[in-house]
Amino acid sequence: MAKIVRLEPIAQETSVETNGNLLSVLLNKDLDVLKECGGRGMCATCHVYIKDGMNALSTINRREQRTLEVITSCKPNSRLACQARVLQNGVVVELPPGMYINSLQDIEELIGRRAEQDLLHPITGQVLVESGKLITRSTLKQLENTPSFQVGSFFSNSTDV
Ligand code: FES
């Protein structure tokens, strides 16, 4: 049976097969995960925080523990996405900013594309561009002061015109 995992702060939910790892959840959402070690629990490029539902994940194994110990951003709720397997519903993952922030230059490339569905502000949920409307420079100005947003999802929700 599939389990639902929620990703914050991009406010997305996705399902994963029971016992599937969080890395597959992130990749499924087109997030920017380097996975340098190929999912062997050794590089920490898949590091995430668990906002809720730590008990719904598999327990931390020794390799994961060792890898987490050497990263400075490690907190009590840290996990390696490639090692954490989803056993129950209720997992809420907090993504480190590096996984979904891209440069303003990337955003520039969105200008002139058309939104396929309402594009929402990632933090406030306010509609920035209504479905079918063009993405303009002024729209994106509204995002400039936002510390985090997922350019990838803007891309997937827009088309070239
Ligand atoms: S992909 Fe390397 S630790 Fe997870």
Alpha carbon of 154 to ligand 1 centroid (Å): 26
pLDDT bracket for residue 126 (50, 70, 90):
low
Pocket residue to mutate for ligand 1, from 21, 31, 40, most atoms within 8 A of Cβ: 40
pLDDT of residue 5: 96
- The pLDDT tens digits of the residues spanning 5-35 come to 999 887 889 999 999 999 999 988 877 788 8
pLDDT of residue 17: 96
Best mean pLDDT range from 44-53, 66-75, 94-103: 44-53
Nearest CA to ligand 1 atom 3: 41
Separation in Å, CA 1 to CA 5, 7, 20, 60: 13, 19, 11, 22
d(CA 107, CA 73): 27
The one-letter amino acid code at 84 reads: A
Q: How would you class 54 by CB atoms within 10 Å of its CB: exposed for 0-12, middle for 13-18, buried for 19 or more?
A: middle
Alpha carbon of 63 to ligand 1 centroid (Å): 11
Which alpha helices (DSSP H) does 62-136 contain, by range? 62-69, 104-108
pLDDT of 102 > 50? The answer is: no
Domains of the chain: 2-97 (3.10.20.30), 104-159 (3.90.105)
Closest atom of ligand 1 relative to the 35 alpha carbon: 1
Question: 47, 68 in Cβ contact below 8 A?
Answer: yes
pLDDT bracket for residue 103 (50, 70, 90):
very low
Token pair for residue 27? 């990749």
DSSP strand pairing (2-8 vs 114-115)? unpaired
pLDDT bracket for residue 158 (50, 70, 90):
low
pLDDT of residue 71: 85
pLDDT bracket for residue 161 (50, 70, 90):
low
Return the beta strands (E) in 9-155 as ranges. Answer: 12-17, 47-52, 78-80, 91-94, 114-115, 119-120, 127-129
- pTM above 0.75? no
pLDDT of residue 101: 42
Look over the chain and give the mean of its residue pLDDT values, rounded to a whole number: 80
- The pLDDT tens digits of the residues spanning 143-153 come to 665 555 555 55
pLDDT bracket for residue 160 (50, 70, 90):
low
